[in-house]
Amino acid sequence: MSDLHGAVLKERVSRSYEVDCYFPMQSMCSVTLYQDAHCKPSMNQFAGLITPSHQPHEPRSCWKDLYYSLIEAREIICITGWAVWTSLRLFRGMDLKIDNRTLGEILVDKANQGVQVYVMVWSEKTSGDILGEKGIMGTHDMETFNFFKKTKVNCALCPREMKTTEFTDYLQNEFSTGAYTHHQKSVICDAPVTDSDRRRLIAFVGGLDLTGGRYDTPDHELFSTLLDEHLGDFRNSNAKSIPPEQGPREPWHDIHCKVEGKIAADVFQNFYERWLKQGKKYGSLSPIDSFNISLNEVPQMDPERLWNAQLFRSITDDSADFDKEKASHMNSKKGRMVDSSIAQAYIQMIRNAENFIYIENQYFLGSAYCWLQNEDTNCHHTIPSEITRKIVDKIALGQRFCAYIVIPMFPEGDPASAPIQEILFWQTRTIEMMYRQVGDALRTYGNNSHPTDYLLFLCPGKRELAGEHIQRLEPATEQFAKTFRESMRFPIYVHSKMMIVDDVYIIVGSANINQRSMAGTRDTEMAIGAWQPFADLRHPFGDVHVFRMSLWTEHLRITEPVFHHPASIECVTRVKELCLYNWHKYIADSVEETPGQLLPYPLNILPCGKIETLEGVKSFPDFLPGAKVLGKLSAMIPQKVTT
């Protein structure tokens, strides 16, 4: 490729990757990608992966990097989250020798050292006066606020409120305050600059819940860590009656990133705008230019591995004090300014896709206007429809394309409960619509392929063998504990909110693929979109590619050359073979360890695109008969909660 042609190509791609929204694309940035909370250095399953600099790939540990970033801060620390737990320990096991302080203790110590520390948590309506300190959601909001009340840490309780200009708005405000959340998750702090007394800014963004039950590794252990890494930090929200000493725990898969350079200043600007709106009564916060911080500094690295990055949000001016000059980049609804740029970014990048899309998300429902039934449901964001349209267009052109979508086996909670069953019902309507359109396109264009050759829904789960660690646990006496002790299997919960396009572009953030996250007027969210402009755009094997391969290695426990080309039918076929083999091990009557952790989503997809349940699997394994895979519509729950 000539220099001129390369420059033209990169300019074209740069334009198509920049979204016209509140925050501009920032160049010359650094992006570090993380899978799960912690990656052990000894994890040899990644040994076969090579980085763009021809070094062995070693996944970094997010919580360890976060710890050292907090410790190195000298000027400012800003944290916002859906849940922030002051008793959280960032180190576990043998690493506790490094520092066994809790997150709350670390932040108080930093504030006492003169660092300006700000914590902004979602104020969950039922906590406090209604149901005591814990509330229904268990977000620790009042506990966290009370912990910092008499310290130098500035802690703000922020409800998700809306303006009330008429009676219907008052009702909407009452509903949103109780049901909608501040779902943004970020940590911002200053860091040293080599050979300078100035500081630079870094920010962590992602599914980054700094609360209980989130610590996990790519091994996603069910039982063996209960008396070690997860002692005092047990979570199983799918079967809440299970005692911590009996298990299993709920495995937790997540994705995060660290950004440095001007993009980190944009993450701070989001925090600053939110603090001005809802936090200033808890303490004053100065603009970033009042600190001894250079916004252009990034760590020393290969210039050809630098990134372009852009910040996206779902938020209204009820929750942030926007820059009025940037108002032209936002929509307006009932007099409120709305930033819905996360949805814009997803749509634009799906339309840019040429070969494949790889998604990991906690939810996948939307495009109700296309559903075969219940099309009047208020879940109208277009992301599922955009993916389907891309696939249909590729089929029409006779070109290969595949969308891989990894979701949890079911949303977090009792899968037989009414809210989870209704979310599954909406998800089924979404999947049903997508496969039916793909099946119709295959017939229309005389393509004998199967719909799953173009669209593949997957979910992670694990079955492991018993060992000495089981003997150290309490005997299983609780009914669910007995069931899982006998089956030795459990779904791995997907909390990720990520999309990779063509191994070139990645979105990582807090936003789920549902109406609550994408509307802009419901939950508040944030995400980073990033790509490396100096990567070879015809054969992209940069950091995004390596990260996607690392995720596949975690899920499939194997690395094969065919995985380098996800759009190829050879790759799709191999992934389906491996996942189906894992599924047979997962549901076998005898306990057999799953060699990989990725399973086909438990639906039978017919060649015409019709979906049905698998034979003998109308309900999720090990759960009650009411835990139906296809879900069930509820007559009692407001749709705005479950969509």
Catalytic residue among 497, 545, 555, 628: 497
Would you say 119 and 153 are in contact if contact means Cβ atoms under 8 Å apart?
Answer: yes
| Burial grade of 511 (CB within 10 A; 0-12, 13-18, 19 or more) | buried
Distance of CA 218 to the CA centre of its chain: 15
**Residues pairing with 61 in the sheet:** none
Cβ count within 10 A of residue 298:
20
- Helix ranges (H only) for 331-382 are 341-352
* C-beta separation of 299 from 482 below 8 A: no
Among 190, 219, 523, 622, the one annotated catalytic: 190
Active site residue 38: no
Instruction: Tell me the C-alpha distance between 500 and 503, whole Å.
Output: 6
C-alpha span between 134 and 83 (Å, rounded): 12
16, 352 in Cβ contact below 8 A? yes
Helix axes 62-72, 103-112, angle to 10 degrees: 20
In the residue annotation, 134 being an active-site residue is answered as no
Instruction: Name the catalytic one among 36, 216, 254, 502.
Output: 502
| Residue 615 neighbours by CB under 8 Å, 6+ apart | 604
Specify the pairing of strand 489-491 against strand 336-340. Answer: unpaired
Tokens of 394: 């590729």
Residues 16 and 348 sit within 8 Å (Cβ to Cβ)? yes
Distance between CA atoms of residues 483 and 36, nearest Å: 27
CB-CB neighbours of 475 under 10 Å: 11
Strand 255-260 versus strand 199-206 pairing type = antiparallel
Question: CB burial class (10 A; 0-12, 13-18, 19+) of residue 75?
Answer: middle
Measured CA to CA, the distance from residue 383 to residue 389 in angstroms comes to 10
Give the three-class secondary structure for 158. strand
Residue 185 a catalytic site member = yes
How many beta carbons lie within 10 A of that of residue 289, not counting itself?
8
Tokens of 155: 């802690």
Amino acid at 467: G
Do 37 and 254 form a contact (C-beta atoms < 8 A)?
Answer: yes
Catalytic residue among 140, 253, 495, 628: 495
Q: Which of 38, 185, 253, 585 is catalytic?
A: 185
Residue 615: exposed, middle, or buried by beta-carbon count in 10 A (0-12, 13-18, 19+)? exposed
| Residue tagged active-site, from 57, 182, 183, 329 | 183
Strands 154-158 and 116-122 turn out to be parallel
The rounded distance, in Å, linking the Cα atoms of 251 and 136 is 22
495 part of the active site: yes
In angstroms, the CA 622 to CA 414 distance is 12
Active site residues: 183, 185, 190, 495, 497, 502
